[in-house]
Amino acid sequence: MLLALVAACAQAGSSATPGASAGPSSGPTPTSTPVADGIQHPTGTTDVLLRMESGGGFVPMDFFATNAPSFTLYGDGTVVFRDPTISPPDPGDGLNRPVPFQTIRLDEEGIQALLADAIGRGGLGIAAGPYMGLGADLPTTIFTITADGRTKVVRVTPLSPDMHPQNAAIVAALAAFAERLDGFGGSVAGEQAYVPPAFRGVLSSIDRPLGPVIAWPWSDIKPTDFTAGENSILLLRTMTPADVAKLDVKSIDGGLTGMTLQLDAKLYSLALRPLLPDEKK
């Protein structure tokens, strides 16, 4: 594995723009790795090859259930990402919406370029982690990469070289790679809006409204149909697009927070988080 990573690192000196085609993946799902002399990788539509996500720190409770990876590359070349340079939608209804996801399909050359960059100058080939810096209560950035038969997860808290005096060089490489992933939208053309197949609904009982109050819209879904997740305070349920449409709220594909539902005399906070291709709930 080490030899494979070293060989892959040799490819990472270039900064070639990945080849891309507009829209999400379509057509038959490949079942084998198509490049014999490149970086080997799974090729399924739900196989995660490269992912970056950030979480933790001092954040509202529903953040833990609604936070989502900002960048994911799948085995068939599909990329689902958020572009931080885009302003979130604001229809003026008082609800909070994150920047919606976008998607594009890379060819094999583009997949190889991203993996080589991650393993080489991105630092994931030699990173070990977890890297715990001087600010333990700050957000953690998590990188996941699957290549050449191995999956590696690297955690950095926080993603700032100045906070890691013992590991400044490798954290600097990871931070620079994170910036390149954040800027992915500027390196491709033809991306389209990502339409989630389902949403994670996050429900919690509240004493006072957090935002606009909407009457409970479902006759076939009750609060008891939301079940406790890892945090018993938050109740979760997978919501179909048809379920979400009954809320009659615009610009919802990227998710939302700050909605208050009322059923009889009880108030509930509802948040929505779009599910990614590899997620079922």
Residues 60 and 178 in one domain: yes
* Residue 27 pLDDT greater than 80, yes or no: no
End-to-end Cα distance, the chain? 33
Per the structure, the count of domains in the chain is: 2
Q: Which domain holds residue 234?
A: 196-274
Residues 118 and 40 in one domain: yes
More confident residue, 219 or 57: 219
Peptide bond into 139 cis (omega under 30): no
Q: What is the pLDDT of residue 151?
A: 97
pLDDT tens across 172-200, in order? 999 999 999 999 999 999 999 999 999 99
Phi then psi dihedrals of residue 194, to 5 deg: -80, 125
Mean residue pLDDT of the chain comes to 86
Residue 244 in domain: yes
Residues 208 and 78 in one domain: no
Average pLDDT over residues 71-87: 96
Residue 281 in domain: no
Q: What is the pLDDT of residue 15?
A: 37
Q: What is the pLDDT of residue 10?
A: 35
Residue holding tokens 């939302």? 256
Q: Are 202 and 281 in contact (CB under 8 A)?
A: no
Residues 212 and 116 in one domain: no
Q: What is the pLDDT of residue 226?
A: 95
**Beta 140-147 vs 235-239: how paired, if at all?**
unpaired
Residues 164 and 200 in one domain: no
Specify the 3-state DSSP secondary structure of 38: coil
Average pLDDT over residues 10-15: 36
Whole-prediction pTM: 0.85
pLDDT tens across 213-258, in order? 999 999 999 999 999 866 667 899 999 999 999 999 999 999 999 8
Q: What is the pLDDT of residue 61?
A: 60
- Determine what percent of the chain is predicted with pLDDT higher than 90: 72
